């Protein structure tokens, strides 16, 4: 059984090529000025073209207004929009209708109670993403390299399609995949040599660890 992988926060051709070589199902671009992974719609559009037809492209935004989403969608032509802020169910539905694109809605998880909001988004968002709640004082809502207690996900209703994210790396991905049975996984800072700097060697090592974990999954 193969687990789809999203490599997020790409800024260079080398990083895109490493993600594609590893077999990424999704590649993500961050549109959030405070992030070391922030990229312009124009530059992301060029990288997205390089990956077109080989991986699905994801534009990651945080409480973006329509004007910013217009600019990103026009420049990148993404396959998905990832909403990583406090977007309401109404806002998710509005964005889906306006852009005609599938939406991945991110949730910040620290404790079991954080799953309470999730049910409202099932059937509204196309996919859910579970990330760790940012540490106190963090500037970023994601990309902090922090993991949450994955056992919390055992409280999820069965059959929910989601991406597991937050602090994943080659060292913990086996435990994450086998422990949660996550339908898909997402990594950003765990394949970086420095904040915002993807390391092709770490990307390759992450894929190797994922493939080893897949061998241990029940058929
Ligand atoms: O990566 C960022 O800088 C970022 C900024 C704003 C919103 C989301 C961001 N990243 C997302 O965070 C998760 C997990 O990242 P990590 O592996 O813990 O570093 C991932 O979904 C990214 O899309």
**Could you report the per-residue pLDDT of 119-130, keeping only the tens digit for each?**
999 999 999 999
Neighbours of 68 (CB within 10 A): 14
Question: Tell me: the pLDDT tens digits for 46-98?
Answer: 999 999 999 999 999 999 999 999 999 999 999 999 999 999 999 999 999 99
Q: For residues 138 and 157, give the distance between their C-alpha atoms in angstroms, rounded to a whole number.
A: 30
Q: Report the alpha-carbon distance of residue 197 to residue 200 in Å, rounded.
A: 10
ipTM: 0.97
Query: CA-to-CA distance for 217 and 202, rounded, in angstroms?
Result: 23
Q: What are phi and psi of 29, to 5 degrees?
A: -125, 135
Instruction: List CB contacts of 10: < 8 A, sequence separation 6 or more.
Output: 16, 19, 27, 28, 29, 37, 39, 47, 198
Active-site annotation holds for 131: yes
In this structure, what token pair is assigned to residue 82? 């990832």
Distance 61 CA to ligand 1 centre (A): 10
- Which one of 114, 126, 131, 161 is the catalytic residue? 131
Reported as half-sphere exposure (CB side, CA atoms, 13 A), residue 61 has a value of 23
Mutate to test the pocket of ligand 1, among 4, 9, 110 (most ligand atoms within 8 A of CB): 9
pLDDT in tens, 148-201: 999 999 988 877 899 999 999 999 999 999 999 999 999 999 999 999 999 999
Work out the percent of the chain whose per-residue pLDDT is above 90: 95
120 catalytic? Reply is no
Do residues 130 and 109 make contact, with C-beta atoms less than 8 angstroms apart?
A: yes
Entry pTM: 0.97
């Amino acid at each position: 059984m193969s687990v789809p992988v999203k490599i997020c926060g790409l800024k260079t051709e080398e990083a895109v090529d490493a993600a594609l070589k590893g077999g990424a199902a999704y590649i993500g671009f961050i549109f959030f000025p405070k992030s070391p992974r922030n990229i312009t719609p124009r530059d992301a559009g060029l990288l997205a073209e390089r990956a077109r037809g080989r991986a699905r492209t994801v534009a990651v935004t945080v409480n973006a207004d329509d004007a910013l989403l217009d600019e990103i969608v026009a420049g990148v032509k993404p396959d998905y929009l990832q909403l990583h802020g406090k977007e309401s169910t109404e806002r998710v539905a509005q964005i889906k209708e306006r852009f005609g694109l599938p939406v991945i809605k991110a949730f910040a998880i620290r404790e079991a109670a954080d799953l309470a909001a999730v049910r409202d988004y099932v059937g509204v968002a196309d996919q859910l993403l579970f990330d760790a709640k940012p540490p106190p004082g963090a500037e970023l809502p994601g990309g902090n390299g922090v993991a949450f207690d994955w056992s919390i996900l055992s409280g999820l209703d069965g059959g929910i399609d989601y991406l597991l994210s937050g602090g994943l790396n080659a060292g913990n991905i086996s435990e994450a995949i086998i422990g949660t049975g996550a339908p898909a996984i997402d990594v950003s800072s765990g394949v970086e040599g420095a904040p915002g700097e993807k390391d092709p060697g770490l990307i390759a090592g992450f894929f190797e660890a994922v493939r080893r974990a897949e061998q241990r999954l029940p058929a």
